[in-house]
């Protein structure tokens, strides 16, 4: 059994997963301060308790063990996702946006051991979501895939021949939102020029305009068309880079369904390299659980000393 904690853009989402099945889930708002850590720990303990898990060995610093008395199952590990670059060997986040500056360099494995008495695996949120969807989710069994999360930012991840790309320093595949779309565009906070995220994300919207308003009403057609054009360009570049069999489009804005998916897919098909086979496009039915499912796979693989999530399947 795995306790999964996803430090998202607007919410911290939590889930308890047993054998690939979501036993319980919950969320709390992001405060954008160190207070997010004790709040997440408290919500995690509530979930464990409410799903019939008993707390044993409770100390001043937290739990030393958790077990499920009804079935004898034990929570073996914690999976933690963060919206930034992760050093998987040290369980520390190297860099993220300002909202989670307080997590940079923090030993999250040590935090999990203190709070729950359990080891933790730490991963970038988009990469965890990709692992979740290709393991037990909407793209189960796919070995060549790209995931793009649209919303607060543009999160991306890539998998080739069953292996999630991480690269020499953990950056591979996850910076698709910072591909240059407009060489004469604005400077992105990342330092690059004309990034897709700088042009088409929540923080790129005019003041008082929401993403929901843009994509569920006709109030801002020019913004909607611009965002879809940018997203299409980003996804086309990712397909050219990684040659996936499937593209997974996720994020809250995908609740708008074909109004978002169809124009992006059409853009890719129109601008794809001629000899390439167009990928299949998928929108997960439960995108809010993608990250947790991936964290469960990673945490479970770690506890049984499996080399990669794909081998563990």
Q: Give the domain-ending residue among 124, 147, 177.
A: 124
Q: How confident is the model at residue 97 (pLDDT cuts 50, 70, 90)?
A: low
pLDDT number for residue 73: 38
Query: Could you tell me if residue 311 is inside a domain?
Result: no
Distance CA 53, CA 164 (A): 32
Tokens of 292: 């947790």
Whether pLDDT at 66 is above 60: no
Query: Could you tell me if residue 298 is inside a domain?
Result: no
Query: Could you tell me if residue 134 is inside a domain?
Result: no
Does residue 143 share a domain with residue 118? Answer: no
For residue 45, give the nearest of 151, 152, 129, 118 by alpha carbon. Answer: 118
Give me the CATH number covering residue 178: 3.30.420.40
State the average pLDDT for the chain. 87
Does residue 252 share a domain with residue 171? Answer: yes
For residue 79, the SS3 value is strand
Does residue 149 share a domain with residue 26? Answer: no
Does residue 267 share a domain with residue 151? Answer: yes
Distance CA 35, CA 102 (A): 10
Q: How confident is the model at residue 57 (pLDDT cuts 50, 70, 90)?
A: very low
Q: How confident is the model at residue 59 (pLDDT cuts 50, 70, 90)?
A: very low
**Lowest-confidence region among 98-112, 116-130, 249-263, 297-311:** 297-311
Does residue 112 share a domain with residue 196? Answer: no
Give the tens place of pLDDT for each residue, 199-225.
999 989 999 999 999 998 999 999 999
Does residue 101 share a domain with residue 13? Answer: yes
- Structural domain that includes position 58: 2-124
Does residue 151 share a domain with residue 246? Answer: yes
For residue 228, give the nearest of 256, 203, 207 by alpha carbon. Answer: 256
Give the tens place of pLDDT for each residue, 247-297.
999 988 888 788 899 999 999 999 999 999 999 999 999 888 899 999 999
pLDDT number for residue 271: 98
141, exposed or middle or buried, with CB in 10 Å at 0-12, 13-18, 19+?
exposed
125 near 303, Cβ under 8 Å? no
More confident residue, 156 or 258: 156
Does residue 158 share a domain with residue 240? Answer: yes
Sorted by sequence, the CB contacts under 8 Å of residue 270 that are 6+ apart come out as none
pTM attached to this predicted model: 0.87
Does residue 196 share a domain with residue 158? Answer: yes
Whether pLDDT at 231 is above 50: yes
Does residue 65 share a domain with residue 12? Answer: yes
Sorted by sequence, the CB contacts under 8 Å of residue 86 that are 6+ apart come out as 92, 93, 94, 122, 123, 124, 170
Query: Could you tell me if residue 130 is inside a domain?
Result: no
243 near 278, Cβ under 8 Å? no
Tokens of 1: 């059994």
Residue whose entry in the numeric block shows the structure tokens 């409770």: 58
Does residue 176 share a domain with residue 41? Answer: no
> How many structural domains comprise the chain?
2
Does residue 40 share a domain with residue 76? Answer: yes
pLDDT number for residue 253: 84
Instruction: Compute the average pLDDT of residues 47-56.
Output: 63
């Amino acid at each position: 059994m795995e306790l999964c904690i996803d430090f998202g853009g607007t919410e911290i989402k939590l889930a308890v997963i047993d054998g690939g099945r979501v036993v319980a889930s919950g969320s709390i708002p992001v405060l954008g301060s160190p207070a997010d850590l004790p709040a997440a720990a408290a919500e995690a303990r509530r979930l464990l308790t409410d799903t019939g898990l008993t707390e044993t060995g409770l100390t001043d610093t937290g739990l030393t063990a958790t077990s499920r008395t009804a079935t004898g199952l034990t929570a073996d590990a914690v999976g933690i996702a963060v919206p930034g670059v992760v050093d998987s060997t040290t369980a520390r986040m190297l860099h993220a946006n300002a909202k989670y500056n307080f997590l940079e360099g923090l030993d999250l494995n040590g935090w999990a051991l203190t709070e729950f008495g359990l080891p933790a695996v730490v991963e970038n949120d988009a990469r965890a979501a990709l692992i979740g969807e290709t393991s037990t989710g909407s793209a189960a069994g796919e070995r060549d895939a790209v995931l793009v999360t649209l919303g607060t930012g543009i999160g991306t991840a890539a998998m080739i021949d069953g292996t999630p790309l991480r690269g020499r320093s953990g950056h591979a595949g996850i910076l698709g939102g910072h591909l240059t779309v407009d060489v004469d565009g604005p400077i992105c906070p990342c330092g690059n020029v004309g990034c897709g995220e700088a042009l088409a994300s929540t923080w790129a919207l005019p003041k008082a305009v929401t993403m929901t308003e843009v994509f569920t009403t006709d109030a801002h057609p020019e913004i909607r068309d611009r965002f879809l054009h940018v997203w299409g360009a980003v996804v086309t570049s990712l397909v050219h880079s990684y040659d996936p069999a499937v593209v997974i489009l996720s994020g809250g804005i995908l609740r708008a369904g074909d109004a978002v998916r169809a124009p992006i897919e059409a853009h890719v098909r129109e601008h794809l390299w001629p000899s390439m086979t167009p990928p299949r496009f998928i929108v997960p039915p439960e995108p809010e659980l993608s990250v947790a499912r991936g964290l469960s796979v990673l945490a479970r693989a770690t506890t049984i000393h499996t080399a990669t999530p794909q081998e563990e399947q």
